[in-house]
Amino acid sequence: MSTPASTAKRSGSAAVAAGPTAAERLTSLMPVLALAVLVVALAAADPDFLRRSSLMAVVDAAAPLAVLAAGATLVVLCGGIDLSIAALASLSSVLLALWLPGLDALAWPAVVAVAAVAGALQGAAHVFLRIPSFIVTLGGMSVFSSIALVVSGAATVPVVDDTSIRWGFSRVLGTVPSAAVVAVVVVAVLALIVKVTPLDSSIKATGYSEAAARLAGIPVDLVKIGAFCVSGACAGLAAVLLVARTFSGGPTLADSLLLPAVAAIVIGGTAITGGHGGVWRTVVGALVVTLLRVGLSIVGVSAAYESILYGAIIVVAVALTLDRSKVLVVK
Amino acid sequence: MSARPEAGPQPGTSAPPVLEVRGLVKTYPGVTALDGVDLQVRRNEVLGLAGENGAGKSTLLKALVGLVRPDAGEIHVRGERVRLRSVEDAADHGIGMVFQEQSLVPNLTAAENIVLGSEGPGVRRGFYRWATMRRLAQEQLDKIGSTIDPLARTDSLTFAERQMVEIAKVLRIEQRTHDTPVIILDEPTSVLEPGEIETLFEQVRRLREFASVIFVSHRLDEVLDVCDRVYVLRGGRAAGEIRPADAEPGQLHRMMIGSTAPEDHYHGGAAAPPATSRQPLLTVRGLTGTAFRDVDLDVGAGEIVAVVGVHGSGREELCKALFGAVATSAGEVALDGRKLSLTSPRAACAAGVGYVPAERKTEGMVGPMSVADNMTLAKQRVRCAGPVVVPKRQADVVDSWIRRLSIRTPGRRTAIGRLSGGNQQKVVLARWLVGGDVRLLLLDHPTRGLDVGARSEVYRLMRELAGNGVATLLLADSLEEAIGMADRVVVMSDGRVVAEVPCPADGKPSPLDLVKEMV
């Protein structure tokens, strides 16, 4: 065996590779590849799947999940996690159903605002009390669930007049589900704001290395509270989409979306340890999760098995994307 | 992965060396860390390993304790070829390492730490036998002549004491081989203060009585001081062997970097600072925090002030406090006559204060982010028009600083983690320069872990900045560095400023003068 590149080391930094390696590129394309494979597989299993109506149905079903998960993605990028999103969306759905008769067109902005405040409060608790976000939002999840039960009287709240939120469940140009348009617009706005402002490096630096970010003068606390605030607002907006399609708000309406949302984030390739990832990736993740669910029913697997799938997906996706150099001791 | 069955045996030596390495090769993607290293460790000698960062020192050590599997080459222990697969494996062959970052469990006693993992008779039927364990630990401590109380909690010990505990712990491998063990000390002096270093040297000489020692350091004077023989590594190869008796640092230095050392390491004479008309830019009055009290300090524009002191003198905390990173309870700080808010690093940044932390990898830079993003992290406005990032603007600013500081990087988009330590540090320094508004630089061990060439460049940069009127507060890596760089040295002890020593280019004090004040 000869010794290749034996002089490379001497020249020091000049020898380092410039960009990501082929393997890294492949890993980063993995979510899109997974999506493509799923589409092909489903089309093979059921040729009807490629019809426009069924494709649109999938996109429509994925929209609330994508909105919910996109907000939480920002929290994950900052190195935290928001486990309260589903419970907060349930609570928001109840509030929306209760407020629609009185506030009418102002009801949904009010709900989104309340959810944003709820998120910001959790962020503030996490930052100022120095409690892990995991614990804060686990507590938040429990609190929001309970409030939802109390204010709804533990029952579904029907919506009689849904005129002011009908935009959340209709068709654009006759075919495209409006919920999907809402999801794309929300994600695009979030992505654009992050991309064109210094927020991009602030969020990433916070997620990769909070200590370094703080010592570079980045307002780490504000960035994190902001991320939780957006996460809350997205939960509120997801609730609006859900109420628009079910004509009701329910204290557990969105609860089952927590695992799929976390799955969407990690399948998209956002690192659970923070720093690496993005909101568009989560949209891909949400589509993959939705397709898997659709696929199970096409193949004829009972819906009772779904949670097994989500649980396994989360573990596998994190196993594939985890930056182990950053996690010294796994707890 | 298979070994290279070449490199025949070395005849002629009567007693086989305790440890012999032949043609060791280790390649990482894009880098050859070890390029055929040969090395012999004899019985009861202190072998020095010197080399620049990236010369392959740490890879070699890791190979010796089974943390890295070499691609080719052989390791022989007492004449017998071995394959080391783990630290445990290496210990079975009598090779142990005292790691640079300490590996003790802080909330256990010294005794528990010493026997941890090799309890032997200290545990019976799954239960600790405290008396036996304590006796075993005491034996180890006696062996190195240490007076540390084995029942002291490890986190109550000083850094130097913990190091002694580690050495005592590593020496437990003696029983496994019943032969001279090989003890590796990886940069043992890097965080010790001068007095402690002397104690460590005595320890090393004592170790030689019953062990072979591999002593790794980037400080040439130390290697020459304590070692019987010195191997110089360069570019993954053994560049040569030196006997300290007939060598001087200059020769070693040339071997390490492969060229002549610059005569004036600190560039002291080059840019003699204008000693006149220095009204203080930074004034600190009665500053008090948890680790320091009533600190008064002035730093003039264009002046470099070094703060020296032993571990626990409070100088690190003072430096952090001036950047708003740790809390203060009393005192006034003004920059250029204006009161400086010490509430957050952000406020300090805005006021024109820059801070280079000692822990470059965890606090100084964001490893996976690009050179460009790291460089503009603190002064986002240089790449923005209003609230919007203008990539062209960022590219221009970053590229011009890459050129000005001759930062060796494939490009501004390269992740900073891929650069060498010296170039990383230059990016971290540039972070405060891109804004053009830095008045005060707080440099906490800015040359820690850098090789000789990179240090020299950092020194030149510091001089240049001082020449431009930047006030610098320096926590130096060594007394020599403090004396070489500073215009004035402030000595801290027990959280108080105890002395101020002028340090002009033509009248430098000796390290001894400063040590007297420090203790």
B32 contacts on A by Cβ (under 8 Å): 3-6, 8-9
Does residue B202 register a pLDDT over 60? Answer: yes
Provide the sign of the torsion angle of the four alpha carbons B375, B378, B380, B381, taken in this order. Answer: negative
Question: Across the A/B interface, how many CB contacts are shorter than 8 Å?
Answer: 139
Residue A255 resides in a domain: yes
Nearest CA in chain A to B368: A208
Domain of residue A158, CATH code = 1.10.3470
Residue A20 resides in a domain: no
Residue A42 resides in a domain: yes
Contact B497, B278 (CB under 8 A): no
User: Per the CB < 8 Å rule, is B414 touching A16?
Assistant: yes
pTM of the model: 0.77
Residue A15 resides in a domain: no
Q: Where are the alpha helices (DSSP H) in A81-219?
A: 85-103, 107-128, 133-152, 178-196, 199-208, 210-215
Residue A119 resides in a domain: yes
Domains plus CATH for chain B? Answer: 19-257 (3.40.50.300), 280-518 (3.40.50.300)
Task: Find the range with the poorest average confidence among A174-178, A281-285, B292-296, B470-474.
Answer: A174-178
User: Per the CB < 8 Å rule, is A216 touching B376?
Assistant: no
In which element (H, E) is residue B88 found? helix B87-92
Does residue A3 register a pLDDT over 70? Answer: no
In this structure, the number of other CB atoms found within 10 A of the CB of residue A303 comes to 9
A174: alpha, beta or left? (left if phi > 0; alpha if psi -120 to 50) = left
pLDDT of residue A14: 37
Identify the burial level of B278 via C-beta atoms within 10 angstroms of its C-beta, where 0-12 means exposed, 13-18 middle and 19 or more buried. middle
Does residue A76 register a pLDDT over 60? Answer: yes
Find the domain containing A208 and state its range: 31-297+305-320
**How far B360 CA lies from chain A's nearest CA (Å)?**
9
Residue A211 resides in a domain: yes
Contact B214, B185 (CB under 8 A): yes
Question: What is d(CA A35, CA A270) in angstroms, rounded to the nearest whole number?
Answer: 16
Helix/strand/coil percent split, chain A, to 5: 75, 0, 25
Phi and psi torsions of B75, nearest 5°: -120, 125
Both tokens of B284, joined, read: 């600190």
Task: Find the range with the poorest average confidence among A150-159, B44-53, B388-397.
Answer: B44-53
User: Could you give the 3-state DSSP secondary structure of residue A129?
Assistant: coil
> Whose structure tokens read 């007095």?
B195
Q: What is the pLDDT of residues A284-296, one digit of tens each?
A: 999 999 998 888 8
The Cα-based distances of A98 to A153, A158, A161, A234 in angstroms read: 11, 9, 11, 19
pLDDT of residue A324: 61
Question: What is d(CA B503, CA B507) in angstroms, rounded to the nearest whole number?
Answer: 6
Average predicted confidence (pLDDT) for chain A: 87
Task: Find the range with the poorest average confidence among B3-17, B99-113, B208-222, B464-478.
Answer: B3-17
Phi and psi torsions of B262, nearest 5°: -65, 140
pLDDT of residue B257: 62
pLDDT of residue A107: 93
For residue B144, give the amino acid letter: I
Sheet holding B353-356, edge to edge: B353-356, B440-444, B471-475, B304-308, B488-493, B496-502
**What does the pLDDT average to over B309-329?**
88
A219 contacts on B by Cβ (under 8 Å): 346
**How far B227 CA lies from chain A's nearest CA (Å)?**
26
Q: What is the pLDDT of residues B417-426, one digit of tens each?
A: 888 888 899 9
**How far A87 CA lies from chain B's nearest CA (Å)?**
34
What is the complex's ipTM, to 2 decimals? 0.83
In this structure, the dihedral spanned by the alpha carbons of residues B183, B189, B192 and B195, taken in order and rounded to 10 degrees, is 90
Residue A249 resides in a domain: yes
For residue B230, what is the DSSP state? E
pLDDT of residue B15: 67
Question: What is d(CA A137, CA B47) in angstroms, rounded to the nearest whole number?
Answer: 55
Minimal Cβ distance to A217: which of B4, B378, B383: B378
pLDDT of residue B410: 86
The CA-CA-CA angle for residues B45, B48, B50, to 5°, reads 170
User: Per the CB < 8 Å rule, is A197 touching B389?
Assistant: yes
CB of A198 within 8 Å of a chain B CB? The answer is yes
Task: Find the range with the poorest average confidence among A227-231, B126-130, B365-369.
Answer: B126-130
Question: What is d(CA B260, CA B250) in angstroms, rounded to the nearest whole number?
Answer: 8
Question: What is d(CA A48, CA A58) in angstroms, rounded to the nearest whole number?
Answer: 13
A84: alpha, beta or left? (left if phi > 0; alpha if psi -120 to 50) = alpha
B258 contacts on A by Cβ (under 8 Å): 10
